[in-house]
Amino acid sequence: MDKPNALSSESYRLGFWLAVGAAFGFSAKAIFVKLAYAVPVEGAPHVDAVTLLALRMAFSAPVFGIAALRTRSAGSLSVRQWLALLAVGLAGYYGASILDFWGLMYISAGLERLILFTYPTLTVLFGVLFFHKTLGRREVLALLLTYAGIAAAFAHDLGLAADGRSVWIGAALVFASSLSYAIYLVGGGQLIARLGSGRFTALAMAVATGATLLHYGLARPWDELFRQPWPIYALAAGMALVSTVIPVFMQSAAIKLIGAGRASMIGMLGPLATLALGWLLLDEAISVWQTGGAAFVVLGVLLIGRR
């Protein structure tokens, strides 16, 4: 393969670090959710997943609304593009998020992040099956390393679980979230090439926000949204900024620069951040198996991060 010129190398490095930043931002989401579930709520053990997701999207909506308005002059979308955008928006930050929030009611933040990171394999598989993508040897080796690490840590955590049924319920929900997010990444990669990363992100998040608020309106009374304890609002606002607005734009830009497959594999750094934050903030134990698995994830990400 020809040696990349300076511009392409710089673009690749930028896309790589944008994907790394997005991975760390998204990883903090599970910590925000688990902290919010620990806050006592009047009349219930904890805030429910639909309410928490609605608050997250409501706090994020102004930013994405402004971004969407700024893209109006970029030209109109065809009916086919609107339908594709609707499907991708529903799959991504609505479908993937609500399934993930439900799953976190049953399993730890560290285990959630490990299961969620099955999505790079699904993303790459979708690309191979439907968009005629090919895998290089470096990418195959990176996948083998990262998933060997994830499998080791997951098997260990499952063996130590006191309630196996809850673990499997949570795992199934989080895996469904991973599948939904992989659909978003693959479909997003196609739409970003046509619409641009900023416009795509704003419109996809607008779709997800509308779907989330509609879900809340059908499932819960509206006045409950304004009667939550103040820590719930603080955590939802932090989740909106740190784990939604900033990493969403970083991830879209990374996909544009280096592609959905590579961006998703670099995102496998996420379990490291979640394990560390879970240990610091949630008192979740880190085992030798988890540490060894994390080391394999780092090796895989470093491998895919090289041009």
Residue 5 lies in a domain: no
pLDDT higher than 60, residue 307: no
3 occurs within a structural domain: no
Region 24-42: mean pLDDT is: 88
* Inside any domain, residue 230: yes
Of 146, 129, 163, nearest in space to 23 by CA: 146
Residue 248: which of 305, 202, 294 has the closest Cα?
202
Q: What is the dihedral of CA 111, 102, 184, 176, to 10 degrees?
A: 70
Tokens of 80: 């086919």
What is the three-class DSSP state of 214?
A: helix
Confidence at 3, pLDDT banded by 50, 70, 90: very low
Gap between the terminal Cα atoms of the chain: 11
Task: Give the number of domains in the chain.
Answer: 1
pLDDT, mean over the chain: 80
Strands (E), the chain: none
3-class SS shares of the chain: helix, strand, coil, % to 5: 85, 0, 15
Tokens describing residue 296: 């394999």
pLDDT grade for 101, boundaries at 50, 70 and 90: very high
What residues make up the domain containing 92? 11-305
Q: Is residue 4 part of a domain?
A: no
Give CA 194 to chain center in angstroms. Answer: 22
Q: Measured between alpha carbons, how far is 18 from 14 in angstroms, rounded to an integer?
A: 6
**Does a structural domain hold residue 89?**
yes
Report for 43-47, 133-137, 233-237: range of highest mean pLDDT:
233-237
> What's the farthest any 2 CA atoms get from each other in the chain?
64
The answer to whether position 2 is within a domain reads: no
Crossing angle between the packed helical segments 109-116 and 6-37, to the nearest 10 degrees: 140
- The answer to the question of residue 267 being in a domain is yes
Helix axes 6-37, 270-281, angle to 10 degrees: 30
The pLDDT of 246-258, averaged and rounded, is: 84
Nearest partner of 88 among 198, 192, 216, judged by Cα: 192
pLDDT at 9 over 60: yes
As a whole number, mean pLDDT of residues 196-225 equals 85
- What number of residues does the chain have? 307
pLDDT at 244: 85
pLDDT confidence of residue 7: 44
* Maximum average pLDDT range among 72-81, 161-170, 184-193, 228-237: 228-237
Q: What is the DSSP letter of 136?
A: -
- Type of residue at 263: A
